[in-house]
């Protein structure tokens, strides 16, 4: 499925100018159809999957209990 620069910006939650800049820098693959750039939506799926995986790993790490240190002594 192909998206316009505006639709891609909405899909990625980015500003339209940033997406246009990334297209011109070649960091986002796009095709110019004579009128505008169109961008294949599938190229972002791998990145979005990795972001979700990283979020899950961070949440697991954050919810892990803090182990008690063997060096800490109660001096009361």
Q: Using one digit for the tens of pLDDT, what is the confidence trace for 16-70? A: 999 999 999 999 999 998 889 999 998 988 888 998 999 999 999 999 888 777 6
**Which pTM value belongs to this model?**
0.64
Domain membership flag for residue 20:
yes
CA 25 vs CA 20, 42, 52, 63: distances in Å: 9, 19, 26, 39
Q: What are residue 10's phi and psi, to 5 degrees?
A: -65, -45
For 14, the domain range is 2-63
* CA gap 51, 49 in Å, rounded: 5
CATH code, 12: 3.90.105
Q: How many domains does the chain have?
A: 1
């Amino acid at each position: 499925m192909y998206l316009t620069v505006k639709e891609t910006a909405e899909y990625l939650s980015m500003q339209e100018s940033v997406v246009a800049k990334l297209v011109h820098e070649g960091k986002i693959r796009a095709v110019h159809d004579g009128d505008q750039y169109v961008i294949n939506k599938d190229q972002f799926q791998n990145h979005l999957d990795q972001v979700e995986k990283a979020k899950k790993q961070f949440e697991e790490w954050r919810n892990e209990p803090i182990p008690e240190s063997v060096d800490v002594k109660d001096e009361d």
